[in-house]
Chains A and B, each alone.
Chain A
Amino acid sequence: MKCQSCTKPATVHLTDIINGHKRELHLCQDCAEKQQLIKSQELNLSAILQTVIGQHISQSTDELGRLTCPACGIKYMEFKAEGRLGCPHDYEVFQTALEPLLQRIHRSVRHAGKVPQHGRIHAARLAEILELRQQLHNAVAAEAYEEAARLRDLIRVKETTDESG
């Protein structure tokens, strides 16, 4: 499509409805700026941001696609399809992919609210416990009960030694 004012390709498309009359405009960047259409329309910042994020993500899709959480086994692509994460550790594993998303949803990527005063488990310890719990799950499924008992005790120790701090 060509610009309605000159012959360059139209990159700005506007539709406005005034008193029920629909008006469509197709202009190139220069003409749109000349007519102050872009400025007066206040270009939507978050929309631009989304495009940027989209590009950023598509560039590294392969990398992201392969990203798997060692604790819960969810793949980034599964999260994208289902919209639900698999475990708390995912926030660390998928951090680079999640931050643009959080920015888009909340316009922020950092917590500014309440902080619990008790029972914090350190992130590294947390991932370890989650992995142990998966191993426990597998051991139970394979009817390896001795191994399961060992893992259960280990998890209990890891959880309690950290709960004070």
Chain B
Amino acid sequence: MNLDSLTHTSGEWLRGTGPESDIVISSRIRLARNLAAFLFTNRASAHQKAEIEAMVRDRISKLEIDPGLTYVHIPGLTPLDRQFLVERQLISRELANAEGPRGVALSPQETVSIMVNEEDHLRLQVMRSGFTLDETWQDIDRLDNLLEQRFSYAFSDEFGYLTACPTNVGTGMRASVMLHLPGLVLTKQIEKVFRALQKINLAVRGLYGEGSRASGEFYQISNQVTLGKSETTILGEIREVVPNIIMYEREARKTLTKESRQALQDKISRAFGTLQHATMMTSEETMDLLSSVRLGINLGMLEDKHITIPTINELFIHTQPAHLQKLMGTLLDGEERNSARARYLRNRLENGAGLN
């Protein structure tokens, strides 16, 4: 697979389709699996990791799935390409920055990724646009079943799937739903939502996972518990809570359009104007402004601008540092990026240009 061919698209999770896609960006499930007869990655020698990688690579290439997966050997990638895969959420920052033999198998549509020699030997991921946890689970369960025919997983009857970190043991499953919640942020109710979620043991993270700031008012809600509950139970807990958050977000948006329509319209129009005309843009400011524009489109406040959600979703990813540099075809330092980012946004958001 030529990574450059991915540069011009936006990837599965920002496709902007699927149920409740004005608020739910994507649904994602990850399964941690280890090979029974090997030491965990952190303890394995480079030689052993190479053995694991070669074996996994060979067996994955023989999986009966259509379309097949393409294997990418991470040490063979430039730092820019590694960052590019992180921005697309196809690999973790840990895998990008780790040492030694490691890689990722990807499906052409970017819905499936299997990381090899991350913290666990295998990290399966399936990602879909919109609120689609059940379908996502079916996909990853099927993939997992295919893989277990070819590998002996580290599994015990008592503790389930054995993982390098005890926080993942049991199902090894982390299911998450990414939400765009500008209404709850603007009406200052977001903290209340966080507290309620923490009480029921669900974690809230920013766009790029652990420790990342919630830029662009994107939030990922995921389970923390992996032991003592079945996958179905865990998924059910998330599936139950998300519609409530969606409802609160819709309420907040309604309140905003009713009680502070002028201020909201102003904020959205200014965001759009800045994106169209600024000459220097940091990636953080871009995220915040795009978030406002996204809200504006969903509320019908930018109808005369002829700009669509898929375009905005695409801009979210294209303005990330590695994507921007790949689009420009050259390495850029921070200052140069800010100028290139502003130029790119100006071009894409000229009158009518947002149509595609």
Q: Which of B157, B158, B161, B165 contacts A84 (CB 8 A)?
A: B165
B10, CB-defined interface residue at 8 Å: no
Name the residue of chain A whose CB is nearest to the CB of B152: A119
Question: Which residues of the partner chain A approach B228 to less than 8 Å between Cβ atoms?
Answer: 106-112
A157, CB-defined interface residue at 8 Å: no
From A13-21, A49-57, A58-66, A122-130, the one touching the partner chain is A122-130
The prevalent SS among residues of B at the interface is loop
B208, CB-defined interface residue at 8 Å: no
B236, CB-defined interface residue at 8 Å: no
Contact (Cβ within 8 A) A106 B149: no
Contact (Cβ within 8 A) B230 A133: no
Contact (Cβ within 8 A) B119 A87: no
From A1-9, A36-44, A97-105, the one touching the partner chain is A97-105
Q: Which of A98, A108, A123, A159 contacts B166 (CB 8 A)?
A: A98
Question: Which residues of the partner chain B approach A163 to less than 8 Å between Cβ atoms?
Answer: 152
Question: Which residues of the partner chain B approach A12 to less than 8 Å between Cβ atoms?
Answer: none
Question: Which residues of the partner chain A approach B36 to less than 8 Å between Cβ atoms?
Answer: 88, 119, 121, 126, 129
A35, CB-defined interface residue at 8 Å: no
A134 to B43 Cα, complex, angstroms: 11
What's the nearest-Cβ distance from chain A to residue B260, in Å?
A: 26
Question: Which residues of the partner chain B approach A87 to less than 8 Å between Cβ atoms?
Answer: 38-40, 43
B153, CB-defined interface residue at 8 Å: yes
A111 to B171 Cα, complex, angstroms: 7
Contact (Cβ within 8 A) B148 A126: no
Contact (Cβ within 8 A) B37 A113: no
Question: Which residues of the partner chain B approach A91 to less than 8 Å between Cβ atoms?
Answer: 156, 158-159, 162, 169
Contact (Cβ within 8 A) B158 A110: yes
Question: Which residues of the partner chain B approach A130 to less than 8 Å between Cβ atoms?
Answer: 37-39
Contact (Cβ within 8 A) A112 B39: no
Q: Give the residues from 124 to 150 in chain B that come closer than 8 angstroms, CB to CB, to chain A.
A: 141, 144-145, 148-150
Question: Which residues of the partner chain A approach B173 to less than 8 Å between Cβ atoms?
Answer: 113
Interface set of B (CB-CB < 8 Å, partner A): 34, 36-40, 42-43, 45, 47-48, 119, 141, 144-145, 148-162, 164-167, 169-171, 173, 225-231, 233
Interface set of A (CB-CB < 8 Å, partner B): 71-72, 74, 82-88, 91-92, 98, 101-102, 105-121, 123, 126, 129-130, 133-134, 137, 140, 155, 158-159, 162-163
9 closest Cβ pairs, A-B complex: A108-B228, A111-B160, A88-B154, A106-B227, A119-B152, A86-B43, A113-B171, A129-B37, A88-B162
Q: What are 20 A-B interface contacts by the 8 Å CB criterion? A: A71-B39, A72-B39, A72-B43, A83-B165, A85-B164, A86-B43, A87-B43, A91-B158, A92-B156, A105-B166, A105-B225, A105-B227, A106-B228, A111-B158, A111-B170, A118-B149, A119-B36, A120-B152, A126-B154, A133-B48
